[in-house]
Amino acid sequence: MLRRTFSVLGGKVLVVAEMHNGNVAPSTLAAVTAGLKVGPVSTLVAGKNAAKTAAALANVKGVECVLVAEGEHYEKGMPEEYAPLIASVVKDGYTHIFAGTSAFGKNVIPRAAAKADAMPITDVTEVKDDATFVRFMYAGNVVCTVKTSDPVKYATIRGTSFERAPTEGGSAEIKEVAATKAGGTSRWIEDAIAATDKPDLQTAVNVIVGGRGLKNAENFKLLNDLAEPLKAAVGATRAVVDAGCCPNEMQIGQTGKTVAPNLYLGCGVSGAIQHVAGMKDSKVIAVINNDADAPFFHVADYGLVEDLFVAVPKLTSMVKK
């Protein structure tokens, strides 16, 4: 059945995989789903001991072939190393080069596109056909359908707009590809990653977000208390990240992360255009704000005008019951 669909589709897709500790990144799984809309999908994994992580990719449903490039210089996802590798692999007749819209994908895909003289299409939310894609502009206020004339199409795929391909049920062939030489013009020094046992913001089923109304970092405890029984991730607006209350990786919005959880609960969030751009595809949006005129009330399915310092603890105790 799948085979037959493929024969109609003219594309040949390469998804540049992002791996974390041997696991496939959720945005990569969304990129596989997007890729299957235009043709058979191969994935590319590179790094030290890449063969090991390739097994996880080979299990992803829908992937036909996993290309593996061994090399320590790929280990940290440096674009200076990835772009030549992608260029060497593309020669095998790939028509579409996809990656998830993540810090990795946004960094690597445009650089690879430059090598191929192609105009990359970022943060694709819909694949219409092999050359036509939908994306947002102006902080999500304009939906634009573009048709590309580039022979090879480079794109990043918005992770919240496509179902994730299942991580089981696949049986892809694993093929080794020759590693490209290390560039040597850039060097990875270190990653400063906050260790956390909390759910990941971009994949959490529920998300609770704090805005300026939280006032300070300590008050985020209120949100963490509510997040725990809900198994929710906690996010933040730009204002509180800028104020130093939260680390940058918690920022949701046009220039931060995009989330689309089942429940988005905003506390003390006004609902600026830039923030709404990162969460408006959430299934249910609830807002608690003591300012009845906050623009967020126009977006929310359920709005409660009340002091969050009263309402949130109350809600927490109700959820716990």
Residue numbering of the annotated binding site: 212, 237-238, 251-255, 268-275, 289
Helix/strand/coil for 296? helix
Q: With respect to other proteins, which residue has the nearer C-beta, 58 or 276?
A: 276
- Indicate whether 103 belongs to the interface with other proteins (CB under 8 A): yes
- Indicate whether 247 belongs to the interface with other proteins (CB under 8 A): yes
CB of 17 to other proteins, least distance (A): 15
CB of 255 to other proteins, least distance (A): 6
Query: Tokens 């892809």 identify what position?
Result: 172
Residues 82 and 186: beta-carbon distance below 8 Å: no
Residues 257 and 241: beta-carbon distance below 8 Å: no
Of 49, 87, 42, the closest CA to residue 67 belongs to: 42
Query: Tokens 């819909």 identify what position?
Result: 126
Of 49, 42, 11, 38, the closest CA to residue 28 belongs to: 42
- Indicate whether 23 belongs to the interface with other proteins (CB under 8 A): no
- Indicate whether 293 belongs to the interface with other proteins (CB under 8 A): no
Helix/strand/coil for 135? strand
Among 72, 163, 176, 301, binds other proteins (CB under 8 A): 301
Query: Tokens 């209120």 identify what position?
Result: 222
CA distance 73 to 188: 9
Site for other proteins in 186-245 (CB under 8 A): 186-194, 202, 206, 230, 238, 241-242
Among 9, 111, 130, 166, binds other proteins (CB under 8 A): 111
Query: Tokens 């992937």 identify what position?
Result: 63
- Indicate whether 291 belongs to the interface with other proteins (CB under 8 A): no
End-to-end, the C-alpha distance of the chain in Å comes to 48
Site for other proteins in 42-61 (CB under 8 A): none
The count of residues in the chain is 321
User: Which of the ranges 33-41, 47-55, 57-65, 280-288 carries the binding residues for other proteins, by CB under 8 A?
Assistant: 280-288
Residue 217 has φ and ψ, to the nearest 5°, of -65, -40
- Indicate whether 119 belongs to the interface with other proteins (CB under 8 A): yes
- Indicate whether 142 belongs to the interface with other proteins (CB under 8 A): yes
Q: With respect to other proteins, which residue has the nearer C-beta, 55 or 304?
A: 304
Among 52, 175, 181, 314, binds other proteins (CB under 8 A): 314
Q: With respect to other proteins, which residue has the nearer C-beta, 2 or 318?
A: 318
Q: With respect to other proteins, which residue has the nearer C-beta, 15 or 68?
A: 15
Q: With respect to other proteins, which residue has the nearer C-beta, 1 or 142?
A: 142
Residues 194 and 246: beta-carbon distance below 8 Å: no
